[in-house]
Structure 1
Amino acid sequence: MASGLPHLIERTTAQFEKNFGCTPTLLAAAPGRVNLIGEHIDYCDGFVLPCALPLYTLIAAAPAAEDHLITLDAGKKFPRTTIDLREPVNPGEPFWANYLKGVLASFLEFDSPRPLGFNAQISTNIPLGAGLSSSAALEVAFATLLEQITGHILTKKEKALLAQKAEHDFAGMPCGIMDQFASAYGEEGHLVLIDCKAEEASLISFERNDLDLVICNSMVSHSLADGEYAKRRADAEEALRRSGQTSWRDLSLADLPKLEKACPERIYHRARHIITESKRVIDATKALKDDDFLAFGQFMYRSHSSLRDDYEVSCPELDLLVDLAKEAGPAGGVLGSRMTGGGFGGSTITLCHSSHTRQFIAHLSSRYMEETGHKPDIIVAKPARGAHLV
């Protein structure tokens, strides 16, 4: 898929000029992400393997007439909001602005020049509610913008952790580090292997012209802040407490029989997913480095089964999309498929031979429409560049 960033720049710049009567002086972009394997373990000291997508949130900005006011406009669907820099920055309404307020609050704590007032126009081509981390892209793009406005330049790790903190403290979402790290560290032609215990990232080459990442939006929206994500995180914490360890990194497959005795059934199933998924990421990464993409695809299928049965974060629509990918199989160019993102709706990711991608999309679209009455939104992608100034 070709990047839609040039069109997004043109559209956002035009909207800025219409709304604020001048040309923007800064443009900051940050991508969404898709996770190939390693779900719901970024808050459990696990390893995860996402990549940045060629889908971006873009923020255009220019100084405001009043140096104490920040005006944020994100289009007709979102109420415009103004932040008064003379007042404490706290979460509130409209809710969408809390992701930005949380980032701003951290910058205001730095021992560096405070930002002066500015106007900002925000646009995105990341589908909202599709499990592709539109919120992380918004946070990381705003942090990239504020770096230039304040002169306080962050490392990629600092930027990702600051964005995660904003989501925790201002949006009430206890997310792990994966989404923000993928948006900050992403590079074209590379996956991002993240060690969530050490909070370190390394790039894994994926410069494959013969393979596509096919992301299929089930068109079932989700809101992870409504409690289900937090419940899974609480279950994970309860399982770790019952294990007697302080880190999931200290547990392995050999500990599962002991955990089965120590935990109620639901809590044991959560633990089984976390432990087996962590191992799957390591094994899948090795398969990737060995160019064994058929083995990698099998790890994707097993990951989905675990998310469906043990972590219970899938849904009938996601299961159907994965089953349709299996139905196409290697003969139809499909190597593997799984749900991606927090679950409860959202998207699947399928690894497909490029020579069969068009045929697979036609199969997926028609069969999904027949079964659900919904037309899926399908994106074909390669790993893309992370956050940057335009």
Structure 2
Amino acid sequence: MTLAQQFEAAFGAAPALIARAPGRVNLIGEHTDYNDGFVLPAAISVETRIAAAPRSDGRIRVLACDFGGAIAEWKLEAPYAADPAHPWADYVRGMTAAMIQRGHALAGADIAMTGNVPKGAGLSSSASLMVGIGTVLAALAGLSIAPADIARMAQAGECDHVGMRCGIMDQLASAAGVASHALMIDCRTLDVRPVAMPEDVQILIVHSGVARGLVEGHYNERRAQCEAAAAAIGVSALRDADMAMLNGAGLDPLTLSRARHVVTENARVLAAAEALAAGDLRATGELMAASHASMRDDFQITVPAVDALAAELQALIGPEGGARMTGGGFGGAVVALCRADRTDAVLGALTYRKPDGTAPLVLRETACAGAGLVMR
């Protein structure tokens, strides 16, 4: 059944609205967002779709089409509380709580949601869901909320309620994506500058088969290490540091390596945005390779399977393009940029297999538009 049909079967009437919110792939700039730095993501075609209709009793009912048709329900004014029986609903609860905390008067709603963003791949399935929820609830309530503000609330919902101390990149890329463009985002000012993708370049995303678990893993630990480095240097965030400051601060070797990744990664993002805009795939590929090495050696967030996949893709693509891990780390996917006329040959020659011995999931992507309504 379609999403609208599943909604009607569950709630007895057709939805009033359907919204979409894309996932995103980060071309370069990992763990720089929560350090007030720079990132270069693109919204992609995999997405979450949200169907909704208003309720008059101030309640939220959510149908998870991808979780066996499970339904969670709560009152909008109730304090946020995690739902162990329906952990997927925590993201919806977190988004509604963040919107209410910012003074938005929401109506109750029946909601059905489905998506095809691969889970655990580093493609922002959670941000896509929360941005989609924010988009559809704002529309139901007749609110006009800027994409950057939807993104801020989605970030707050995930940080303050779900427990993932994420930056703003994922949510802003999903909310404000521009078709055929990457987004050069200043994570301090939230300034977004579209960067045109060369027409003959294909985005490849290959999932390593190693699922990520960022809340349970080391993501929050890395953030704390970066904050400790900034405090020791005397800056508000590592965005304001340079290598001379790091080398002169007397940091312990581990903290120094974490901070060095962020400082050098910010420089790589700025350079990659210029190279991509100029169609210089050779320079872009070199920067992607350096980014992966920094994540592996300084930030220590890659795993051997991801390292092997990135190395093989880079070798197959050659100098006109590049490959690197994308996402928060500890598993997930590799993103690659490749000349479109080389894509079939690269994928045909790829020998990488997931840990279970099967072929990896491969997405051929282009940069897509950000969240919005697809049906009123």
TM-score by length of 2: 0.94
Q: Distance in 2 between matches of 1:218 and 1:344?
A: 11
Q: Distance in 2 between matches of 1:69 and 1:103?
A: 14
Question: What does 1:47-58 correspond to in 2, within 5 Å?
Answer: 47-58=38-49
Equivalence for 1:69: 59
Equivalence for 1:286: 274
Question: What does 1:1-390 correspond to in 2, within 5 Å?
Answer: 11-64=2-55, 67-75=57-65, 77=67, 79-85=70-76, 87-93=78-84, 94-109=86-101, 111=103, 113-116=105-108, 118-206=109-197, 208-259=198-249, 262-330=250-318, 335-364=321-350, 367-369=351-353, 373-390=357-374
**How much has 1:253 moved relative to structure 2?**
2.7
Q: Distance in 2 between matches of 1:124 and 1:76?
A: 7
More off after superposition, 128-137 vs 194-203: 194-203
Aligned partner of residue 287 in structure 1, secondary structure: helix
Q: Distance in 1 between matches of 2:142 and 2:53?
A: 15
Q: Distance in 2 between matches of 1:30 and 1:350?
A: 23
Aligned partner of residue 226 in structure 1, secondary structure: coil
Structure with a larger share of its residues in helix = 1
Taking a change above 3 Å as real, the CA distance of residues 92 and 369 of structure 1, as seen in their structure-2 partners, is: closer
Q: Which runs of 5+ in 2 are unaligned?
A: none
Q: Which runs of 5+ in 1 are unaligned?
A: 1-9
Taking a change above 3 Å as real, the CA distance of residues 296 and 76 of structure 1, as seen in their structure-2 partners, is: closer
Aligned partner of residue 248 in structure 2, secondary structure: helix
Q: Percent identity?
A: 38
Taking a change above 3 Å as real, the CA distance of residues 307 and 111 of structure 1, as seen in their structure-2 partners, is: closer
Q: Distance in 2 between matches of 1:86 and 1:335?
A: 50
- CA-to-aligned-CA distance 1:346-379 (integer Å, 9 cap, x gap): 1000111111111111222xx1129861320000
- CA-to-aligned-CA distance 1:96-142 (integer Å, 9 cap, x gap): 212111221233345554313x2111000100111000000011000
Aligned partner of residue 141 in structure 1, secondary structure: helix
Residues matched between the structures, number: 372
Aligned partner of residue 283 in structure 2, secondary structure: helix
Q: What value does the CA root-mean-square deviation take over the aligned residues? A: 1.8
More off after superposition, 88-97 vs 162-171: 88-97
Q: Distance in 2 between matches of 1:321 and 1:88?
A: 44
